[in-house]
Chains A and B, each alone.
Chain A
């Protein structure tokens, strides 16, 4: 990716020194749900047709799959050619992804659009067969596409005989997917809580895509997402989506296979390929939940199976505690479902959940883990797959109500409880447990370099820095951060320190082994000099990662801020010399040199020692002054004592001299 090669070239923004992004020529027909499309050109191959997607700054594109996807050639798949952050003319640094523009129009204009229903043979010829290689390639590389939907497939050319899968990298996985394209567990989730997903989710979405194309639009149009999910749980996805439509037995086979609600039983690409090659596979029978002997009423509706009830309890979680604690649910599970182990589990949850004022949501969450262990984690209005929680934390970071629920969920260690469920794979369990323990650790430590910001950047390794100071600049690496700060300094926006909670946490998460002293200084908010020294130390450590680059404007900004640090030295002469040197060194743009200048251990130690000695001397002088002023020398007692001794000495000297004189005199 061309992360470090960006420049603005007279109205055309240049990526990787090669790809011109024509920011004045938007292509709304190619917009993705979370990215805006623009025309692009390759300076080295002017005939090449390209377009670029400008990503949102608060979302992270799927950086990890851009390189492998860009290596996929000659597949019916829109793959990235180049990607990276660049200075966007409308301000800030934005992440841009360039794609080959060798596609015609979208098959469907939007989620709710209507088209002429495709015939079954058309679907197989134009969609299934062309896309199998793309699905196979993705599955072979273990890359879930997570954006397979009717409005994200394009005709390959104007003949409209074949389709191409649209892009899937401009936003986190499944963020733009309508609920209908997601398997039950994923559809139940908040959009941010769907997570990376699996190739099996793509196969499900592909099945729904076929349904939509056969129907000429959304087969569940007019029904809410909630109703569709309820129907899928109760009747199965195939029955829900097929509705009253009729399909031939040959197409029923792949549709049943692809829309199978058990991911283990769901058709794979290999199954689809075999079917397309003409082999007959046994149709999958829907796996419907066990029916109870009698209905149970909840939230104004009757439920005949446990998964539907559990789903409704998650949706109407405020009503659920009464059902759980009232004993009716337990009795229904024992008598109508004959699942005593479930009822015992529920009873255990009731006895183990602390009886707190805010304990209702906790109780429901824990109860749902027992009643429907394969469902995602449901807490209040927030629902997420367990492995998607870190990413959801990042996506919902600025969404106050959801963030509040997430923090409560994590604070109550409910994810750790969920991970104990038997269906969670051991490999995932250990990794996720570590992440959630880390969350708890940082959420309890609200200092600069910790807190929710640190939890965000630690759990989302490439998530861009969300500091308001950066005004939405895409900053995903420490070097990007210095570039963004340098740009800020050049614009003269230097009215405060270039480090805030986000930047501190971002640096701590991205740079391993930062000295503890930096955080200690940064958290000494009452001591401006220490704080600013911490600021300089932090950005200097960032520059250490790429010490060849220079940041003159940032250096001058920091040099201005360092006055309190200069003043923290006691010796006036040294302070004056330091201030002069700071002025000179700021222009060089070397932050490490700046740090060494103001934070020399030797100079600091000499200054402290000198100051201590000076203090001692001053105290001695003060004592002597006081003594003298109090008549230390001139007091009567002192004068008399000295005079008496003096007189004795004078007498002794005179006597001695006299004796010598007399001796000499008599000797002569």
Chain B
């Protein structure tokens, strides 16, 4: 137990170390690409919310929302870079509701897919289960007809071999 705890501790220390390193490495990038990051941060707000809301592991909601949200943020980023990635342009773009609509709309679509898919799947699975049970029952009946009732007996301890 003690060994396990020690290992977990070491692993925990390693994880936080990596995060720290990532943050340190990201600082110059953010510093250089600050306008880009600001626009991205604003457009990706739904993903951040999804990240916080989704407590499950892996964070499927965050990933689902995040991928579409990120794609939908790309037109704004593209526009920003086309206009030189200045703070003014970044401000304009960040306050442009069209870009919000695109980014947040994509995020909303992703969120709806995430929320709606179980209902769809449930219905599908109910139908599949009924059909598969029917098919299994049919095959079992065929086996009993071909080999007799004994076929349903456990294989071990049942042998009609005469030799």
Contacts and interface: CB of A to CB of B under 8 A. Distances in A.
Nearest to B153: A615
Given A604-B161, A643-B121, 16 more contacts: A611-B151, A615-B151, A617-B139, A618-B144, A618-B151, A621-B143, A622-B140, A625-B133, A628-B132, A632-B129, A634-B122, A644-B64, A647-B113, A654-B67, A654-B71, A655-B67
Contacts of B74: 658-659, 662
Interface in A124-182: none
B92 interface: no
B151 A521 contact: no
Contact of B113 (A632, A634, A645, A651): A651
B125 interface: yes
Nearest to B162: A530
Contacts of A642: 121
B150 interface: yes
B110 A614 contact: no
A642 B143 CA distance: 33
Contacts, number: 143
A629 B162 contact: no
**Contact-residue bracket for chain A:** 35 or more
Contacts of A621: 136, 139-140, 143
B60 A572 contact: no
A614 B146 contact: yes
Contacts of A658: 68, 71-72, 74, 106
Contact of B162 (A529, A573, A615, A644): A529
A187 to B, nearest CB: 56
A580 B106 CA distance: 73
A633 B125 contact: yes
A639 B78 CA distance: 38
Interface in A69-109: none
Given A615-B151, A634-B122, A655-B67, A648 B78 contact: no
Contact of A517 (B71, B145, B163): B163
A651 B67 contact: yes
A652 B159 CA distance: 54
Contacts of B155: 612, 615-616, 619
Interface string B42-63: 0000000000000010001101
Interface in B57-103: 60-61, 63-65, 67-68, 70-72, 74-75, 78
Nearest to A644: B60
Contacts of A622: 140, 152
Interface of B: 56, 60-61, 63-65, 67-68, 70-72, 74-75, 78, 106, 109-110, 113-114, 117-118, 120-122, 125-126, 128-129, 132-133, 136-137, 139-140, 143-148, 150-155, 158-163
A404 interface: no
Contact of A644 (B70, B114, B139): B114
- Prevailing SS type, chain B contact patch: helix
Q: Name the 8 nearest CB pairs between A and B, nearest first.
A: A644-B60, A643-B118, A643-B117, A651-B64, A655-B67, A647-B114, A633-B125, A658-B71
A457 to B, nearest CB: 27
Interface in A508-562: 517, 521, 529-530, 533
Nearest to B63: A648
Contacts of A617: 139, 143
A662 B136 CA distance: 48
Contacts of B110: 647, 651, 654
A646 B114 CA distance: 8
B162 A604 contact: yes
Given A614-B146, A634-B122, A648-B60, A655 B78 contact: no
A74 B62 CA distance: 125
8 contacts: A517-B163, A568-B160, A617-B139, A621-B136, A628-B129, A628-B132, A644-B61, A658-B71
Contacts of A571: 146-147
Contacts of B133: 625, 628-629
Contacts of A615: 147, 150-151, 153-155, 158
B66 to A, nearest CB: 8
Contacts of A644: 56, 60-61, 64, 114
A318 interface: no
Contacts of B106: 658
A519 to B, nearest CB: 14
A640 B118 contact: yes
B143 A634 contact: no
A638 B125 CA distance: 10
A629 B137 CA distance: 12
Given A608-B159, A621-B140, A570 B148 contact: yes
Contacts of B122: 634, 639
A622 B61 CA distance: 36
Contacts of A401: none
B150 A608 contact: no
A624 interface: yes
